[in-house]
Amino acid sequence: MQLSQPFLHIAAAILAAAIVLTGIVTPPLHAAELAAVTTRQRSEKKLFTDSEITDGFLKTAFGAEYHLAGRVDRIRKYELPVRVFAEGIGRPDRKAQIAKVVGDIARRVQHLNIAMADSGEDANVVVKLVRDRDLYRTITTFYGSDRAKEIRSSLDPQCLSGFRKNEAFEIEHSDVILTVDNGDFIFLDCAYEELLQSLGPINDTNSVPWTMFNDNVQMGYFDVFDQYILNILYDPRIKAGMTVQEVHTVLPQVLADVRVWVTRINGLGE
């Protein structure tokens, strides 16, 4: 991330889940961490009213948990294909898990063109993998010492993400920083949340209990409620730069179509 980058999401708690790079076998999660994901999936709320989904979308797609510059009252999203590259310390298992997360996101968000890139030069989302002991040094490299100290003192993150947008509110580049040595569940929870928030819904909210974009919620997988948020955001009728009022005019039909997709992809009607 560059110092001019206007929006930053910081995960102060543990965050998100996983899935594969072609040709790389992802090692199984430890039993306790797999159980943590399974327990959450079994108790997950999957049926939501239109008002619940609308409220969650507006609270996460507008605003920003921590912004350095620029307006936060417009839709921000990629209007071009998204390509992700993971770099950093030599952990092929973690890179394989990132690829699996990206594949899962691609399968569940209908109009989002997202895939892994072969190199950093081909990517507009770069995932930096670091050891926990190197996290703040990495943040300092990205943001400078003053902002790094502010981030550490106020939020004490385990992972974070941010993006740079243009004047049309189209996201041009995102950076994600993940620690690799805090266990599988934390890594996966962070990977899902930070990758998803790097796509646009960067505002955390404690008032929506069903979203991973809530620092009090840990998932470890791509939950149904957040699939609604991302599918609405990446519907072609939702444009970068839209205001809340403009979103409201198209949201009823968008949500109706998104319901059909989310229901089918999750087998909710079975």
Strand order in the sheet with 171-179: 66-67, 7-11, 159-165, 171-179, 125-130, 82-88, 114-116
Q: How confident is the model at residue 150 (pLDDT cuts 50, 70, 90)?
A: confident
pLDDT tens for each residue of 89-125: 878 999 999 999 999 999 999 999 999 999 999 999 9
pLDDT exceeds cutoff 80 at 265: yes
Token digits for 25? 């076998």
Token digits for 195? 């990758």
The confidence score (pLDDT) of residue 18 equals: 24
pLDDT exceeds cutoff 50 at 21: no
pTM, two decimals, is 0.85
> 191, 98 in Cβ contact below 8 A?
yes
Residue 261 CB-density burial (10 A; 0-12 exposed, 13-18 middle, 19+ buried): middle
pLDDT exceeds cutoff 60 at 159: yes
The confidence score (pLDDT) of residue 42 equals: 77
Q: Which fold has domain 7-265?
A: Collagenase (Catalytic Domain) (3.40.390)
Query: Domain residue spans in the chain?
Result: 7-265
The confidence score (pLDDT) of residue 30 equals: 55
pLDDT tens for each residue of 54-96: 999 999 999 765 544 456 789 999 999 999 999 998 789 999 9
Q: Which residue has the tokens 């990446």?
A: 234
Angle of the 244-265 helix axis to the 50-61 helix axis, nearest 10: 120
Which residues are 9's β-sheet partners? 161
